[in-house]
Chains A and B, each alone.
Chain A
Amino acid sequence: MSKIVLQNVDKFYGKNHVLKDLNLTINDGEFMTLLGPSGCGKTTTLRVVSGLEKPQNGFIYMDDKEIVNAKEAKFAPPSQRNLNLVFQSYALWPHMTVFDNVSFGLKIRKESSDVIAKKVASALERMQIGEYAKRYPTELSGGQQQRVAIARAIVSEPRLLLLDEPLSNLDAKLRVDMRSELKRLHHDTGTTIIYVTHDQVEALTMSTRIALFRKGELVQVAPPLELYDNPVNLYTADFIGNPSINFVKGTAEVDGAGMKVTSSMGQVGFERADMTESAPQSGSLAVTLGIRPEQLTISTERDDAHQIEGRVYSGMPAGSETLVSVRVGEDLLTVKELGSTHYSGDQVVYLGYNPKKVNVFATESENLIKYCV
């Protein structure tokens, strides 16, 4: 229920330039995920929005109201921003009961005790931990503590909810459960959410949009599927997707009609219509093909002349799917096949793919020059 605009935000810790001229708009009701490896500035961005950190440059607007104007040294305190934050460590106060933890903010706002009791009960019920109100945080499991932390953050019905890697301390199974629960929470409340994570699966499954960071700069801001299908550069392509995308080096001859790429995957032609505006008009250049593992088909017998011959490096069946590493020339490619198939080492296999679904990047600039369509 709140629109956030960050403009030209710079943040330094001493000489360390953590956020570099950051511009980002988060729309009303959005589930925006800040994604990137550790140390890329995503948590710092969250803390700058929350008001716990003061940026050295830039402006932040919340619903067109200026809350940060670094030039005039104006920084609205966190309590005036109508937001709440869930910390990675949960930051539950160990000396207070669950009820006291959740009601803390309401008490500071001097709400009447009836209202407090009602709101806390509803928040705890919402997180399915109503029966633990009188317990202390240390008497709860990690997952329950997590729920208390979220209950504490939503009890005041903030217009903006900030979540800092909230699931990273949970075990794998609980994490999947909490993911759907958080998505449901967003659906029910309609609150604008900014969510920080380094886990791309969380980002892809939950967000309406993802902002991908690298070393304090934004690389790409896009809806999950767009980010997955058409990463703007090699960095994004490599970061998004599990198992990782396959990169194959090659050379391209570009002309007005499109380009022809020669690589260990054979010779493939691409149409001009599928290429980006920034792609060169003519000449030859080094390129990198990006092929998602699920776009590769694998068979033990050649049933198409275009198929590429390779040798199995190792096969990893996992029940619902099978990952196969295949050596093709100098490259080691990962293939994802549904179902469970057994491949033995050094077995000869044949790989096929649809050129339309392949990304092409200019190797030198690392930028995308051909879309997956």
Chain B
Amino acid sequence: MKDSEHSYSRVRRLKNQIKAVVTNPYNVIVLVAIILLTYLIVFPLVDMLSRTFVLSQRDLRAVGGTGHVAGEFTFYYWQKLFASDLTKSLLVMPLLHSLEIGFAVSVGSIVLGAVLAWLMVRSDLPFKPFFSLAVIIPYMIPSWVKSQAWLSMFRTPRIGGSPGFFTALMLKAGISNEVIEAIIAPIAYGPLAIVVVLSLHYYAYTYLLVSAALNSINSELEEMGEIQGASKALILRRITFPLVLPAMLSAVILTFSKAIGTFGVINYLGSPVRFRTLSSELYSNSQSQNTQIAFAMAILMICIAAISVFINQQLIGSRKSYATIGGKGGRSTPIGLGVWKPLITVILLAFFVVAIIMPVLILILESCMLQQGTYSLENFTLYYWAGSGNPDIMEGLPGIFKNEQFLLSLFNSCRLTLVNGVFGTIFGQILGYICAKGRGRFHGKLVEQLVFIPYLIPSIAFGGIYLSMFSRPQQLFGVTLIPALYGTFTLLTVTSVVKHLPFASRAGTSNMLQISGELEEAATIEGAGFFKRFIKIVFPLSKGGFISGFMLIFVSIMKELDLIILIMTPSTTTLPYLAFQYQNNNAPQSSDCVAIVMFSIVFLVYALANIFGDADLAKSMAG
């Protein structure tokens, strides 16, 4: 049979091709994923961008003159932001503040995280099991809870109302109010406070990424340096440091973009002294219906995040990760701290007491104080926990366990985290599957890029985008696809799931990459179809990754405030939002109670997952 003897039919070819594409569920899933990601990520971005160029009804008068109609194309908003009398207060100052916070927090948390990671992984530090648990706790306490604790310690009477713990001590010692304001106020509020609190929060990212990198370095590499006669400092500088540099740079990006997008902490610690950043401007503009200005700011923030990622990629270049070169499995000989050991141990212990244990204790203490700032036994009460409404206290706000709003928020939070944990993880694993299978191919790269976009969008801006997009019904050719979702639980869920996709799918990808393709091929040979393979082979083998991914999403959504603050309505409040509201309405004890409950849930779930599921946060993050 020569080639020319074969009959050839174009119709048959087309039929076979179509059949091959349609009958392969993988293709269908990839197609659905790309369409959904485009609709949920690209489309909102474009929509937001285009709306900053459309004149709204309420700004008709501001534009001035006649001949303008609502809905026409305009540069008004961008001009207002970039070239008007308001530019300085609306853009320049907040932008500078944002960058200042971003840089300072990055430096602070990288140094702190890297040093801790090195001590924990490579040194002969004592009590390692205790320290390695303690080091992770800050990740579980939301940053806004930390700022609450910060205020509980340092609040000054003139700006913040009742005095905090330290302030009260100083007052007792007979120091005058003026002196206290002069000394404590700059610590209590403003950039210093924000940087310290955020650094104490975000160092966890550096810690997790760098310790993963350090773990994968074969200590023979360092020992080789020692044999060559290098001192410990030189080895650290010339061998260890360059090897973990890629991990540190990824941590910088993560920290920087998170710090820029953060809102809760700025609101707690910045607003009393009118320290404003892009994110707080974005929030207040959005609250006062200046939607277009808020969107323009969101785009600006996305650009900053994108630029930082770009610079990071240029810096790292091809040396994406050395981790695999050294390879695991090598021996790891801890490096002796020598005479410094006791001192370092004491400093670390002190650090954990001051930075982690004390804030939590003070928070608990304050939640049991009838009147803030009065440190005496008569003042002790459980009213804010379980009291029934007393009109004399906090305008009759009952204790949280008798407060329907709290119970609703608790229910909402649990519902949101569970639904999100489950769906987010499943989507994450499926997208991870696509990324892993499609490595080096167009569809794989496309999905990887699409999924990465939400990572660049600061939380608060992301909430803003979804608010604008889903507050009206979504129509296609006059048919309503999705009704208006404003104020629904669905909107909350969609927003959280999509925003957390980058993490979830990264965890999924690294999980799926560990499953050898041949295991699936063996099943193909046996005649197992796509779904059978997924259920019988892929899913059982990726169970561990499922649990880690679930944990990551659960913890991060349980404490999420920035992302959902713009889309909250009374019926959909979650615990973080309730705490935020109480704090803003001057009911700090109730706020403390809510925060403590939330923290306890996070900690409990983390502990359970650790004990039963062998979940590893670092594993799902490092990806």
Name the 5 nearest CB pairs between A and B, nearest first.
A79-B527, A105-B526, A91-B518, A91-B522, A73-B16
Partner of B6, one of A59, A91, A108: A59
Which A residues touch B536, using CB under 8 A?
104
| Complex: A261 Cα to B26 Cα, angstroms | 64
CB distance from B399 to the nearest CB of A (A): 49
| Complex: A365 Cα to B521 Cα, angstroms | 42
Question: CB of B1 within 8 A of chain A?
Answer: yes
Is A50 within 8 A of B525, CB to CB? yes
Question: CB of B472 within 8 A of chain A?
Answer: no
How many residues in A have their beta carbons less than 8 Å from beta carbons of B? 30
Most buried by B among A50, A73, A78, A156: A73
Q: From A162, which residue of chain B is reached at the shortest CB distance?
A: B525
Question: CB of A8 within 8 A of chain B?
Answer: yes
Is A8 within 8 A of B3, CB to CB? yes
| Complex: A104 Cα to B519 Cα, angstroms | 12
Which B residues touch A95, using CB under 8 A?
540-541
Interface residues of A in 14-33 (CB under 8 A from B): none
Contacts A74-B12, A75-B20, A95-B541 given; does A87 touch B521 at CB 8 Å = yes
Is A74 within 8 A of B541, CB to CB? no
Which B residues touch A94, using CB under 8 A?
541
Which B residues touch A85, using CB under 8 A?
521-522, 525
Is B519 within 8 A of A69, CB to CB? no
Contacts A87-B518, A109-B527 given; does A72 touch B16 at CB 8 Å = yes
Most buried by B among A59, A87, A91: A91
| Complex: A156 Cα to B9 Cα, angstroms | 35
21 residue pairs of the A-B complex, CB under 8 angstroms, read A7-B1, A8-B3, A50-B525, A59-B1, A59-B6, A71-B6, A71-B8, A73-B13, A73-B17, A74-B16, A79-B526, A85-B522, A89-B518, A91-B521, A91-B522, A94-B541, A108-B528, A108-B532, A109-B527, A152-B526, A156-B526
Partner of A78, one of B6, B14, B525: B525
| Complex: A52 Cα to B8 Cα, angstroms | 24
| Complex: A269 Cα to B536 Cα, angstroms | 68
Q: From B1, which residue of chain A is reached at the shortest CB distance?
A: A7
Contact with B along A23-45 (1 / 0, CB 8 A): 00000000000000000000000
| Complex: A156 Cα to B536 Cα, angstroms | 19
Q: From A50, which residue of chain B is reached at the shortest CB distance?
A: B525
Interface residues of B in 517-570 (CB under 8 A from A): 518-519, 521-528, 532, 536-537, 540-541
CB distance from A101 to the nearest CB of B (A): 9
Which B residues touch A108, using CB under 8 A?
526-528, 532
Contacts A59-B6, A87-B518, A93-B519 given; does A52 touch B526 at CB 8 Å = no
Question: CB of B516 within 8 A of chain A?
Answer: yes
Interface residues of B in 1-57 (CB under 8 A from A): 1, 3, 6, 8-9, 12-14, 16-17, 20
Contacts A69-B6, A91-B522 given; does A105 touch B527 at CB 8 Å = yes
Is B523 within 8 A of A71, CB to CB? no
Which A residues touch B8, using CB under 8 A?
71-72
| Complex: A75 Cα to B20 Cα, angstroms | 8
Question: CB of A83 within 8 A of chain B?
Answer: yes
Contact with A along B163-182 (1 / 0, CB 8 A): 00000000000000000000
Q: From A158, which residue of chain B is reached at the shortest CB distance?
A: B525
Question: CB of A207 within 8 A of chain B?
Answer: no
Known: A108-B528, A156-B526; 12 extra A-B contacts, CB below 8 A, are: A8-B3, A52-B524, A72-B12, A73-B14, A78-B527, A79-B525, A85-B525, A87-B521, A92-B522, A93-B537, A104-B526, A108-B527
Is B9 within 8 A of A72, CB to CB? yes
Interface residues of A in 77-115 (CB under 8 A from B): 77-79, 83-85, 87, 89, 91-95, 104-105, 108-109
| Complex: A78 Cα to B524 Cα, angstroms | 7
| Complex: A108 Cα to B14 Cα, angstroms | 30
Which A residues touch B20, using CB under 8 A?
73, 75
Q: From B18, which residue of chain A is reached at the shortest CB distance?
A: A73
Which A residues touch B1, using CB under 8 A?
7, 59
CB distance from A209 to the nearest CB of B (A): 21
Which B residues touch A52, using CB under 8 A?
521, 524-525
Is A72 within 8 A of B516, CB to CB? no
Q: From A84, which residue of chain B is reached at the shortest CB distance?
A: B525
| Complex: A84 Cα to B522 Cα, angstroms | 9
CB distance from B442 to the nearest CB of A (A): 11
Q: From A59, which residue of chain B is reached at the shortest CB distance?
A: B6
Which A residues touch B9, using CB under 8 A?
72
| Complex: A152 Cα to B522 Cα, angstroms | 10
Q: From A153, which residue of chain B is reached at the shortest CB distance?
A: B525
CB distance from B422 to the nearest CB of A (A): 22
| Complex: A249 Cα to B536 Cα, angstroms | 60
Partner of B13, one of A72, A79, A91, A104: A72
| Complex: A108 Cα to B522 Cα, angstroms | 13
Which A residues touch B523, using CB under 8 A?
93, 104
| Complex: A92 Cα to B541 Cα, angstroms | 12
Interface residues of B in 458-482 (CB under 8 A from A): none
Most buried by A among B3, B14, B541: B3
| Complex: A111 Cα to B9 Cα, angstroms | 38
Interface residues of A in 53-84 (CB under 8 A from B): 59, 69, 71-75, 77-79, 83-84
Which A residues touch B532, using CB under 8 A?
108
Which A residues touch B522, using CB under 8 A?
85, 87, 91-93, 152
| Complex: A104 Cα to B523 Cα, angstroms | 8
| Complex: A175 Cα to B88 Cα, angstroms | 78
CB distance from A321 to the nearest CB of B (A): 39
Interface residues of A in 198-228 (CB under 8 A from B): none
| Complex: A103 Cα to B68 Cα, angstroms | 75
Q: From A105, which residue of chain B is reached at the shortest CB distance?
A: B526
| Complex: A7 Cα to B521 Cα, angstroms | 24
Which B residues touch A50, using CB under 8 A?
525
| Complex: A79 Cα to B525 Cα, angstroms | 6
Which A residues touch B6, using CB under 8 A?
59, 69, 71
| Complex: A53 Cα to B536 Cα, angstroms | 22
Which A residues touch B519, using CB under 8 A?
91, 93
Most buried by A among B14, B20, B522: B522
| Complex: A108 Cα to B526 Cα, angstroms | 8
| Complex: A59 Cα to B528 Cα, angstroms | 25
Interface residues of B in 380-394 (CB under 8 A from A): none
Which B residues touch A71, using CB under 8 A?
6, 8, 13
Q: From B541, which residue of chain A is reached at the shortest CB distance?
A: A95
Which B residues touch A59, using CB under 8 A?
1, 6
| Complex: A328 Cα to B1 Cα, angstroms | 52
Contacts A73-B13, A74-B16 given; does A91 touch B526 at CB 8 Å = no
Which B residues touch A92, using CB under 8 A?
522
| Complex: A52 Cα to B526 Cα, angstroms | 12
Which B residues touch A152, using CB under 8 A?
522, 526
Which B residues touch A89, using CB under 8 A?
516, 518
Which A residues touch B518, using CB under 8 A?
87, 89, 91
Q: From B528, which residue of chain A is reached at the shortest CB distance?
A: A108
Which B residues touch A83, using CB under 8 A?
525
CB distance from B4 to the nearest CB of A (A): 11
Which A residues touch B540, using CB under 8 A?
95
CB distance from B539 to the nearest CB of A (A): 10
Contact with A along B215-239 (1 / 0, CB 8 A): 0000000000000000000000000
Which A residues touch B16, using CB under 8 A?
72-75
Contacts A8-B3, A71-B6, A73-B17 given; does A104 touch B528 at CB 8 Å = yes
Interface residues of A in 105-131 (CB under 8 A from B): 105, 108-109
Most buried by B among A59, A72, A79, A91: A72
Q: From B543, which residue of chain A is reached at the shortest CB distance?
A: A95
| Complex: A162 Cα to B493 Cα, angstroms | 49
CB distance from A69 to the nearest CB of B (A): 7
| Complex: A289 Cα to B521 Cα, angstroms | 46
CB distance from A94 to the nearest CB of B (A): 7
CB distance from B353 to the nearest CB of A (A): 44
Q: From B9, which residue of chain A is reached at the shortest CB distance?
A: A72
